[in-house]
Copies of this chain bind each other. A is one copy, B any other.
Amino acid sequence: MTSPATAPAEPGYGTGSVRHASPAGTAEPQVTADRVLARCRDLVRPSLSAAISRLHPWHGEMAAYSLGWCGVGGAPADGSYEGKGVRQALAVLCAEAVGAPGEKAVAGAVAVELIHTFSLMHDDIMDGDGTRRQRETVWKAYGTGPAVLAGDALFALAVRTLVEAPGPRTAAAVGRLSETLNGLVRGQAEDLLFSARPWTGPDAVRTDEYRAMAELKTGTLLGCAAALGGLLGGAPARTVAALDLAGRHLGVAFQAVDDLLGIWGDPAVTGKPVHSDLRQRKKTCPVLAALAGDGPRSEELAALLRSPLPLDEAGAARAAALVESCGGRAATLDEARHHLDAARACLRSVPLAPRAAHEIEVLLGFLLHRRV
């Protein structure tokens, strides 16, 4: 099983010679995505924890469970269920990239992390997903009603955290978060509606529609994280806009990688069965790209997916092979690379502090090459 990271290493990535990234071209071998993410989580955690302690204790526990901080009942967890914290990291790094201390972005980082947690809780209900990060999802562990309400509580807390943040840019930050929330739910609506559409024919989901959905569903919040970092860090509007757009492109790339992992990810790492997205007949980028062709293999794939029978192991493996041989895997990897390049171009279009820009670059590379 190969990971989606079958692409050759990006030129310069991880070698310290990234353009505009490391100061004066000096190597910084010690900068790894894990370390960058851990540093940002450590910076944000006290405020995130303080925010969550304002919730009703019941919701506080569900939030902490969802964040991987505790088990059902509240006993502390060992950290192995924690998310990477990409959104909070992006907020912190973008503040640093515009020359502010990362602390300036912490309220924004907390808000986007709370929104991310809320959206996972509600999306898992909508998608009927019972497992996430190899544990029961919140609705599965606590019940649907409580999970709906805990999500609402996190949503409300995110808005409140930003509303109460000090500083002259609070109103603008709240406005941006509010736009983001509207985009996020619109993207999720499109995604839910895709499932009811046919696999082929004039009403089939086009890859450009899929991309638009991914930008809303995944890109909006990553764009918001980056923009809030810039905004709270005091950057001018042009820089904030570039950071926002970079985050949106990153979101589309991120979704493409998720889609690859949903079919070809290693079950031992993803915590999902092999070919999981195919078994669930999810309309994801590789499948839609494969079906967009009109050869006999595309037709065989469509027939497999249209069949009312569940896809067994052999059927799912055959479908995965068809997706790959119809070019769906390569097209999705291209999609990820293209949007990652676009994100990089956005970042290079504005002046950013070299150290933080380098850390962002390392993070981008990690997100394309991740296996989880």
Contact surface of A with B, Cβ cutoff 8 Å: 54-56, 58-59, 122, 125-128, 144-146, 148-149, 151-153, 155-157, 159-160, 163-164, 170-171, 174-175, 178-179, 181-182, 184-186, 188-190, 192-193
**Contact status B122-A189, CB under 8 Å:** no
With A148-B125, A152-B155 as known contacts, state yes or no: A163 contacts B185, CB within 8 Å: no
Q: When chains A and B are docked, how far (Å) is the Cα of A148 from the Cα of B179?
A: 19
- How far does the Cβ of A237 sit from chain B's closest Cβ, in whole Å? 18
Between A and B, 23 residue pairs with Cβ closer than 8 Å are A56-B185, A56-B186, A56-B189, A59-B185, A125-B148, A126-B149, A127-B145, A144-B144, A149-B185, A151-B152, A152-B155, A152-B181, A152-B185, A155-B156, A156-B178, A157-B182, A159-B174, A160-B181, A163-B175, A164-B178, A170-B171, A171-B171, A171-B174
Q: When chains A and B are docked, how far (Å) is the Cα of A149 from the Cα of B119?
A: 10
- Our pick among B163, B175, B185 for the contact of A156 (Cβ within 8 Å) is B185
- How far does the Cβ of A215 sit from chain B's closest Cβ, in whole Å? 15
**Contact status B145-A160, CB under 8 Å:** no
**Contact status A125-B152, CB under 8 Å:** no
Q: When chains A and B are docked, how far (Å) is the Cα of A193 from the Cα of B188?
A: 30
